[in-house]
Amino acid sequence: MTQSSVQKQQASTDDPFLWLEDRNSKQSLDWVHRQNALTVAELQGDPSYQDTFETALDLMTAEDNMPVGTALAGYVYNFWQDKTNALGLWRRATVASYKTDKPDWETIIDFDELSAKEGVKWVFGGASRLYPDFDRCLLYMSPDGGDASEMREFDIATKSFVEDGFRAPASKSGFSWLDKDTVIVSAAFEEEDKTQSGYPRVIKLWRRGAKLEEATPIFEGEKHDLAVGGGVEYDGDKRHMLLGKTLDFFTSHSFLRLASGENRRIPLPDDATDTAIFKGQLIFGVRSSWTAPDGTRCLPDGLYSVDFDRWIDTGTFGPFEPVLEPAHRVSIAGLARTQDRLFINLMDNVRGKVIACDRTADGWSLKPVALPDNGNVGISHVEHFGSSVSFSFTDFLTPSSIIWSDDNAEALATVKSQPARFDASPYVSEQFEARSKDGTMIPYFVVRRRDQKGPVPALLYGYGGFEVPLLPGYAGIRGRLWLDKGNAYVQASIRGGGEFGPAWHQAALKGKRQNAFDDFAAVAEDVVRRGVTTAAQLGIQGGSNGGLLTGVSLTQRPDLFGAIIIDVPLLDMLRYTELPPGASWIAEYGDPSKPEAAAWLGAYSPYQHVAVNAAYPPVLLMTSTADDRVHPGHARKMAARLQEAGHGGTLFFEETEGGHGGRGDRRPQAAQTAMRYMFLQRALAGMA
């Protein structure tokens, strides 16, 4: 038996709380209910809780919240929730009406009404509409708010499900239209159809009138792959059927299905990213340097193109062209395209920009879109078959707005703005840098009162994983429930995230993960050194991978913090691959079944490092029974181990419905939000 397997077996054998990994057992749920009762009594019993909850709910469900939508064939589609429509309305308005102060919305589906009729609390998961009329869709609905969704064919014109139409039970499968009578199914129903992570392994073609189990397989991945997926991409009047095999979170193989039935591999590097097909060109970026067949050196944070039509005809690539050259601390946030223009969303030192690209006979021409500076600029929607595009703009103190164009971003107009939810005039947003343990400078933002005279309670938020950036954004709830109480907010751009492209992420990958934890600690020390706050007044929060971050912060540097919130976290890193779909994250963290990876995972895994005699600050762990992305066992076991070790300041709450993102009814979401702020206020004021 190898050292790693012995270590893994010992971790399981020595784990007195392994039974809490059984998601729905009576023993586990009885424990959850007891913990919930204690936490609710503690936090909801505070005299300030009810006002805090009502403020959060009012802001989440306000009727004047800005409706964000996607334009398609003359309509803007929007999903809307308020106090009356708890599970929400899927609705649409004409583009002209959407631009007015009071759009005339047409309800397509009322999910509260549907749920009452069918006796299931359906949570809307999106829809795939049928080209070219877009009057039919494949509708996704989750029965519990998790990632697994049921699919049904729906007629938008008649506002009804199609009798004897396409329909599939809840799963993590994917569906997209090939044509009106054929659906591309990325199947994850039966065990043989799934990867070891529980995602689709087989792609099939499902003909109208046939049973789902009679669908024809056309592509397969390996059991150890992350997932497969298929869909159709239109480039003008050309239709391309693309199939993909995701090897792990950061590498994949893409295939074009030819008319002959051949699945031809597109010969890009495994770590290609930011791909698009536009005017016969295949545009792509890379996560690591790559020399193209013609000798062109392709670099991270740059974009390149090659003649895709020629490759389809000949099977070989021609010359490669640079579209966008790399620049210092500028990274690519994403690509989007209308019918006639390609848009590149950039992050320049954690601030947004958009570049418009045109393809002419002379090659690529680029020009910046005239959007506001010094904030978070994103592409809100693009009309793939038209010329409309919209952009979002926000920062920590500026409510979000939608800037719209009907002519490929030539003429721009602000058509929607979120109402201000707090008076931002007393506050300032600043960007600083902290020196991490290895000397790397780590940017972070501080939002606080201009006239702050001394240290105040502060909330530090971080993530640091999966190449995901944390960007400035307006949050009315944070303004009302935190800033307006005299507190400060800090947001850290630590390594592991995507703020500065692939290299920033790779600096905290696998065995380098400690860099992210050191970065976060360095930011905490720096805000104290600057006098923004004190260690006793500093609370931290993170969710999912950010929950791992705050869990490690608890066990490694409890002296730096006065309160710790750990949301939907990974915490037992020696068993995370045993809790589905944990195996899908091996490319990020490493495989604990391998000795080298087990060594670095074991060095920081929070669950294994809970100490009996440590002076831990108060801790609040939150998770969800229905979370099918990060298993609730992580948070459950950590809470139990902390409490067993005598850390009485440990609170645990598990929502019994809603998935990883807390989808569904806003009331439980508002309650959780209110409890987090009550916990922070009490802990940082010395009441916990």
- Over residues 19-41, the pLDDT tens digits come to 999 999 999 999 999 999 999 99
Tens-place pLDDT, residues 274-283: 999 999 999 9
Tokens matching residue 188? 């994850």
Task: State residue 307's pLDDT score.
Answer: 97
The Cα–Cα gap between 124 and 137 comes to 13
Helix H segments across 458-569?
476-481, 502-506, 514-529, 545-556
Residue 34's φ and ψ, nearest 5 degrees, are -65, -45
Model confidence, pTM:
0.93
pLDDT of residue 6: 39
- From the centroid of its chain, how far is CA 533? 30
Establish whether 365 is a catalytic residue.
Answer: no
Q: What does the pLDDT average to over 661-672?
A: 81
Is residue 5 predicted with pLDDT exceeding 60?
A: no
Q: Residue 140 has what DSSP assignment?
A: E
Cβ partners under 8 Å of residue 673, min gap 6: 56, 60, 477, 481
Q: Tens digits of per-residue pLDDT, 514-537?
A: 999 999 999 999 999 999 999 999
544 a catalytic residue: yes
pLDDT at 669 over 50: yes
Q: What confidence score (pLDDT) does residue 582 get? A: 92
Q: What distance in Å separates the CA atoms of residue 261 and residue 245, rounded to the nearest whole number?
A: 17
The pLDDT of residue 1 is 33
531-556 mean pLDDT: 98
Q: Which residue has the tokens 């000798």?
A: 295
| Mean pLDDT, range 340-354, rounded to an integer | 95
Residue linked to tokens 């066990």 = 555
Helix (H, G, I), strand (E, B) or coil at 9: helix
CB-CB neighbours of 537 under 10 Å: 22
**pLDDT band of 427, cuts 50, 70, 90:** very high
Helices (H), 362-513: 476-481, 502-506
| CB contact at 8 A, 562 and 529 | no
313 exposure class (CB count in 10 Å sphere: 0-12, 13-18, 19+):
exposed
Q: How far apart (Å, rounded) are the C-alpha atoms in residues 241 and 474? A: 39
pLDDT (mean) for 333-353: 95
**Coil, strand or helix at 645:** coil
Check residue 102 and give its pLDDT: 96
Say if residues 529 and 495 touch (Cβ distance below 8 Å).
Answer: no
Q: How confident is the model at residue 659 (pLDDT cuts 50, 70, 90)?
A: low
More confident residue, 664 or 627: 627
CA distance 340 to 385: 9
Structure tokens at 303: 């974009």
CB atoms within 10 A of CB 239: 12
Strands 174-179 and 458-461: unpaired
Most confident region among 367-376, 441-450, 663-672 by mean pLDDT: 441-450
Mean pLDDT of the chain: 95
b/e code 471-505 from CB counts within 10 Å (16+ = b): bbbbbbbbbbbbbbeebbbbbbbbbbbbbbbbebb
What does the buried/exposed string (b/e) look like for 359-393 if buried means 16 or more CB atoms within 10 Å of the residue's CB? beeeebeeeebebbeebbbbbbbbbeebbbbbbbb
Which residues contact residue 58 at a Cβ distance below 8 angstroms, ignoring those fewer than 6 apart? none
Tell me the three state secondary structure of residue 363. Answer: strand
**Mean pLDDT on 309-326:** 97
SS3 161: strand
> Are residues 496 and 508 in contact, defined by beta-carbon separation less than 8 angstroms?
yes
State the DSSP code for 575.
Answer: T
- Hey, what are 248's tokens? 């792990």
The torsion of the CA quartet 17, 19, 24, 26, rounded to 10 degrees, works out to: -100
Mean pLDDT of 158-167: 97
Q: How sure is the predictor about 3, in pLDDT bands with cuts at 50, 70 and 90?
A: very low
Determine the average pLDDT of the residues in 607-611: 98
Neighbours of 449 (CB within 10 A): 15
pLDDT at 9: 45
Separation CA 609–CA 479 (nearest Å): 35
Q: What is the band of 8 on the pLDDT scale with cuts at 50, 70, 90?
A: very low
Q: Is the dihedral of CA 536, 537, 543, 546 positive or negative?
A: negative
373 band by pLDDT with thresholds 50, 70 and 90: confident
The pLDDT of residue 414 = 97
Model confidence at 456: pLDDT above 60:
yes
Task: Please count the residues of the chain.
Answer: 688
Rounded Cα gap, residues 316 and 267, in angstroms: 9
pLDDT at 661: 54
CA within 13 Å, CB half, 491: 19
* The pLDDT of residue 241 is above 90: yes
Instruction: State the pairing for strand pair 563-567/619-624.
Output: parallel
Give residues with Cβ within 8 angstroms of 152, minimum separation 6: 138, 139, 141, 161, 162, 165, 166, 167
Residues contacting residue 315 through CB under 8 Å, at least 6 positions apart: 264
- Backbone dihedral angles phi then psi of residue 55, each to the nearest 5 degrees: -65, -45
**Greater model confidence, 461 or 613:** 461
Report pLDDT for 44: 98
Question: What is the pLDDT at residue 14?
Answer: 85
Structure tokens at 6: 């012995």
Position 687 confidence tier, pLDDT thresholds 50, 70, 90: low
Q: Are 320 and 304 in contact (CB under 8 A)?
A: yes
Annotated catalytic residue, options 128, 186, 544, 553: 544
Residue 468 token pair: 């995901």
pLDDT average, residue stretch 382-404: 96
- 61-90 pLDDT per residue, tens: 999 999 999 999 999 999 999 999 999 999
pLDDT higher than 90, residue 484: yes
Instruction: Report, as an integer, the average pLDDT of 584-593.
Output: 97
Rg (CA), the chain: 25
Q: Which of 505, 631, 634, 660 is catalytic?
A: 660
Residues 180-203, mean pLDDT to the nearest whole number = 96
**Cα–Cα nearest to 228, from 281, 176, 280, 181:** 176
